[in-house]
Amino acid sequence: MTGVAALAWLLVSALGTAVALPWPPAFRTARRLATAGVSALVRVELRRLAYWFDWDITPTHGASRQVGYLACRSLLGLVVGYLGYVASFMVVLFFGGVVWSATRGETTNIDMDLPGVGIEADPRALGATLGLVMLVLTILGASLMSAVERRLARWFLGPSPQDRLRHRISELTESRAGVVRAVDDERRRIERDLHDGVQQRVVALAMLLGRARRSGDATQRTGKLLRQAHEESQQLVNEIRDVAWRVYPRTLDEHGLRSALASMAEGAGITVTVEDSRTERPAVEVETAVYFLAREAVTNAVKHAEATEVRLVLSECSDADTAPGSLTVRVTDNGKGGAVPSGGGLSGLGRRVSALDGEFRVDSPPGGPTTITATLPRHGARPASPSEHGDATCGRSGRASAP
């Protein structure tokens, strides 16, 4: 029925559109009505496929592909409907003949002369056999029809192999970014636990030891031990703060990347110049990756390259006025060079950047200088906070330096 209805609508729509062709307003109206009818018929077809064949598909193509599907589906439906009617009639005929012959109780064997063979067959057995064969063929034909219908719907209405591949790539990219976000969330949780739990208890312990030192009622040896314990507790507080900062800097969430990089530069022990020309904050996972990349690069410059100066440049260049573009991070030091990109720290940074669909390069010839460059997509960019505003012109920068 749906095939007949679809074929009838296609013929009527084609005729109406052809008649209205000389009159543009009428032609547009006829075309709009034809498109609406095609869309409605496609929805009916999809519901039928979902109900009878338990197969769902979301149309991803326009009206032309939908018209092609309805045309093929209509012709296929007419042919299969006719064959199904004939097959059903033959099944009823054969089995009906067997029942009729059995109720009469009279049978006359049928002589069949084949080349070189003479066969005498009971009509009831022959009818039952032919009916069973026809029934099996009907069931197989229905299964084949189901497969052909699904293939037609997938070909005309479903996504192309390229679309499926792009969708799969998008899913994998999002899942990689999700893993990075999960790691960053875990870093935040650990930092909160250290800051709000362990660190507070150690601070309370240091305060108690300080009060005990100032009480004045302890012996000389006890006072010395209390003084040492107080100093150790203060050192422990500083170390816990340092560990919490290395796990995840709270400043990054509270004040943005620029403030976090400035704090990192202040504690680097060498001159670190930060040049930032960003006008927007990137996505949280991108911002976190930039911070850890900069921190690892500065740490390597201090520990391994014996550098005395590091220059950190952040820039963004949009592809168009409304395009988010990419964020480029370039860290250059004046150390001795010779960094190995496959080393643990640098390879970890490369994997982190790749997980965000970015590019990572290390240029470190013997004798220096070493330049680490990462380009990251700024997907999910956010408006910059007041402390994050830089020069709006790509290539110019706001500066922050720390000796």
Using CA atoms, how far residue 337 sits from 57, 301, 371, in Å, is 56, 9, 9
Using the 3D structure, point to which of 106, 131, 158 is the last residue of a domain. Answer: 158
CB-based contact 153:57 (threshold 8 Å):
yes
CB-based contact 180:352 (threshold 8 Å):
yes
Identify whether residues 328 and 382 lie together within a single domain.
Answer: yes
Structure-token pair, residue 217:
């009622």
Identify whether residues 195 and 54 lie together within a single domain.
Answer: no
Structure-token pair, residue 32:
């709009």
Q: Is the pLDDT of residue 251 over 50?
A: yes
Neighbouring residues of 300: CB distance < 8 A, sequence distance ≥ 6: 339, 345, 346, 370
CB atoms within 10 A of CB 250: 14
Identify whether residues 189 and 304 lie together within a single domain.
Answer: no
Q: Express each pLDDT in 154-210 by its tens digit.
A: 777 776 677 777 777 777 766 666 666 666 666 666 666 666 656 666 677 777 667
Strand partners, 312: 274, 331
Helix (H) or strand (E) holding 89: helix 63-104
Using the 3D structure, point to which of 225, 247, 269 is the last residue of a domain. Answer: 247
CA distance 336 to 146: 70
Residue of higher predicted confidence among 110 and 373 = 373
SS3 401: strand
Identify whether residues 113 and 221 lie together within a single domain.
Answer: no
Domain that includes residue 152, residue range: 2-158
pLDDT band at 383 (very low <50, low <70, confident <90, very high): very low
CA distance 199 to 240: 6
Assign 3-state DSSP to the chain and report helix, strand, coil percentages, each to 5. 65, 15, 25
CA distance 199 to 192: 10
Total count of domains within the chain: 3
Strand partners, 110: 121
Strand partners, 370: 333
The amino acid sitting at 109 is N
Residue of higher predicted confidence among 190 and 298 = 298
Q: Is the pLDDT of residue 312 over 80?
A: yes
The CATH number assigned to the domain holding 394 equals 3.30.565.10
Identify whether residues 274 and 187 lie together within a single domain.
Answer: no
The answer to which of 17-26, 321-330, 352-361 has the lowest mean pLDDT is: 321-330
CA distance 244 to 195: 7
Using the 3D structure, point to which of 132, 158, 184 is the last residue of a domain. Answer: 158
CA distance 74 to 10: 10
The answer to which of 48-52, 186-190, 289-293 has the lowest mean pLDDT is: 186-190
pLDDT band at 125 (very low <50, low <70, confident <90, very high): confident
Identify whether residues 285 and 394 lie together within a single domain.
Answer: yes
What's the pTM? 0.47
Identify whether residues 132 and 146 lie together within a single domain.
Answer: yes
Identify whether residues 83 and 128 lie together within a single domain.
Answer: yes
User: In angstroms, how far is the first alpha carbon of the chain from the final one?
Assistant: 82
The whole-number average pLDDT for the span 227-251 is 69
CA distance 239 to 233: 10
What pLDDT was estimated at residue 68?
A: 76
Q: Nearest CA to 152 among 47, 83, 43, 74?
A: 74
pLDDT band at 395 (very low <50, low <70, confident <90, very high): very low
Identify whether residues 383 and 258 lie together within a single domain.
Answer: yes
List the alpha helices (DSSP H) in 304-373: 344-355
Q: Express each pLDDT in 100-124 by its tens digit.
A: 777 776 666 666 666 666 666 677 7
Identify whether residues 52 and 147 lie together within a single domain.
Answer: yes
CB-based contact 295:340 (threshold 8 Å):
no
CA distance 137 to 128: 14
Query: 168-183 b/e with 16+ CB inside 10 Å = b?
Result: eeeeeeeeebeebeee
Identify whether residues 75 and 194 lie together within a single domain.
Answer: no
The answer to which of 34-38, 197-201, 308-312 has the lowest mean pLDDT is: 197-201
Residue of higher predicted confidence among 342 and 247 = 342
The whole-number average pLDDT for the span 339-358 is 76
Identify whether residues 17 and 130 lie together within a single domain.
Answer: yes
Q: Express each pLDDT in 56-66 by its tens digit.
A: 666 666 677 77
Strand partners, 371: 332, 363
